[in-house]
Amino acid sequence: MPEPEDGLEAYLVGGAVRDELLGREVKDRDWVVVGSTPEAMLQRGFKSVGRDFPVFLHPETGEEYALARRERKTAPGYTGFEFDSGPSVTLEQDLARRDLTINAMAMTADGKLIDFFHGRRDLERGLLRHVSPAFVEDPVRVLRVARFRARYDFKVAGETLALMRDMVRAGEVDALVPERVWQELSGALAERRPSRFVETLRGCGALRRVFPEIEALFGVPQRKDFHPEVDSGIHTLLVIDTAARLSDVLAVRFAALVHDLGKALTPLDQLPSHKGHELRGLAPVRMLCERLRVPKSCHQLGLLVCRHHLAMHKLLEAEPATIVKLLEAIDAFRRPERVQHLAVACEADARGRKGMEYRAYPQARLLQRCFEAARAVDNASIAASLDDGRAIAGAIHRQRCAAVAAIMRPG
């Protein structure tokens, strides 16, 4: 580990230390500086980038160096904090304000571990445990604990889970701003087991407050012949983990999460059947996306998968015209990546069922083949031979249907 800066009392902290001890690749290295001032950092050539508290970029490595600081909550919500980053703040005081013990370790430039709160022990035990009672002052920490469960095969300490439940009961999570909720959700979806994020939030009561559309799925039955897991919420957990195995694309994983939201709105007298749930699901998908300000790519794919996943499952029996209409409905000819994204999300749905994890999903390959055939139609040639816009669109559609029919003929 290189010396950060001669004469500067700086310590590697947080995730870099944690991942170093776990033997994982360290991607970002953050440092805490003790006994210095903003003026001294600027004199050393560091560039100031912090808005709320002093953070600087190293002039050569570009790594972040933050002055050691204490903090205390002064008002409800995420932004109601007061910081003290004077030169008298110690390393222990800085680490004490962090969320989990596994994130509250430091390391000297020569590799010596500094572990005031037994983070290494908790790493070895596979335990997510809060550092201090100040954990309750920041509701984002409820989501962060859940996200770390999605990343690691760790358990939440009983006393930490109790604090999380207290925070939910006190209404702390109701103060979370949409951007932070989406940041933590998208981070959890990027992990290996996103289902643990949902399970953890549900276990402390936060899922109902932060993601009510997802909470509503639990306890809703499905037909056992199609869904051996029966419960719609359990099915969603299986689907998002399957999507995580199949694709690294965030929009695909998000679409897998929201594809069945309509099942929570099925009339009770229709259960366990869910006819029409793909249409009923569009409103809650929009509601969730608008509330959390979900990026456009995730929002759009979430709606498309919700609306068309049943049509995708029935693709092997579909007529060529139906397949072309599906391709046109997802805007595949202008957004070709959507063909694969839709197919993968729907494959995750088909395989996200108990005992069906490794079932074949030939619909994905068929949709790709049909798209390639339809895309090969010479639109420019058709447009040159006709004057009317409707006539051109109709001719292109018919030619696409013919091209798809040709590859679907036996032999």
pLDDT in tens, 179-216: 999 999 999 999 999 999 999 999 999 999 999 999 99
Domains of the chain (ranges plus CATH)?
A: 1-126 (3.30.460.10)
Q: What pLDDT does 381 receive?
A: 86
Residue in the structure block whose two tokens are 């599906």: 326
pLDDT over threshold 50, residue 319: yes
Mean pLDDT value across residues 165-174: 95
Confidence of residue 54 (pLDDT cuts 50, 70, 90): confident
Which residues are registered as beta bridge partners of 30? Answer: 13, 64
pLDDT over threshold 90, residue 380: no
Q: Give ∠ CA 187-102-234 in degrees, rounded to 5.
A: 45
Mean pLDDT value across residues 320-328: 97
Q: What pLDDT does 83 receive?
A: 65
Q: What pLDDT does 75 receive?
A: 53
Distance CA 268, CA 311 (A): 24
pLDDT over threshold 90, residue 409: no
SS3 130: strand
Q: Give ∠ CA 35-38-44 in degrees, rounded to 5.
A: 85
| Helix-then-strand count for the chain, H and E | 20, 11
Mean pLDDT value across residues 18-32: 90
Q: What pLDDT does 84 receive?
A: 67
Residue in the structure block whose two tokens are 């139609």: 377
DSSP letters along 365-408, please? HHHHHHHHHHHTS-HHHHHHH---HHHHHHHHHHHHHHHHHHHH
SS3 344: helix
pLDDT over threshold 50, residue 3: no
Mean pLDDT score across all residues of the chain: 92
| Residue 255 near residue 345 (C-beta atoms within 8 A) | yes
Distance CA 349, CA 344 (A): 9
**Beta-carbon count within 10 A of 15 CB:** 17
Smallest CA-to-CA distance from 55 within 35, 43, 69 is with: 69
Mean pLDDT value across residues 6-35: 90
| Length reported for the chain | 411
pLDDT over threshold 60, residue 76: no
CA dihedral 341, 344, 347, 349 (to 10 degrees): -60
In sequence order, which residues have a C-beta less than 8 Å from that of residue 92 and are 6 or more positions away? 116
Residue in the structure block whose two tokens are 């007529």: 319
Distance CA 112, CA 148 (A): 25
Mean pLDDT value across residues 53-74: 84
Tokens of 299: 């929002």
Mean pLDDT value across residues 145-156: 95
Tell me how far apart the 2 most distant CA atoms of the chain are, in Å.
81
Confidence of residue 384 (pLDDT cuts 50, 70, 90): confident
| Residue 348 near residue 246 (C-beta atoms within 8 A) | yes
Smallest CA-to-CA distance from 122 within 163, 156, 161 is with: 156
Confidence of residue 1 (pLDDT cuts 50, 70, 90): very low
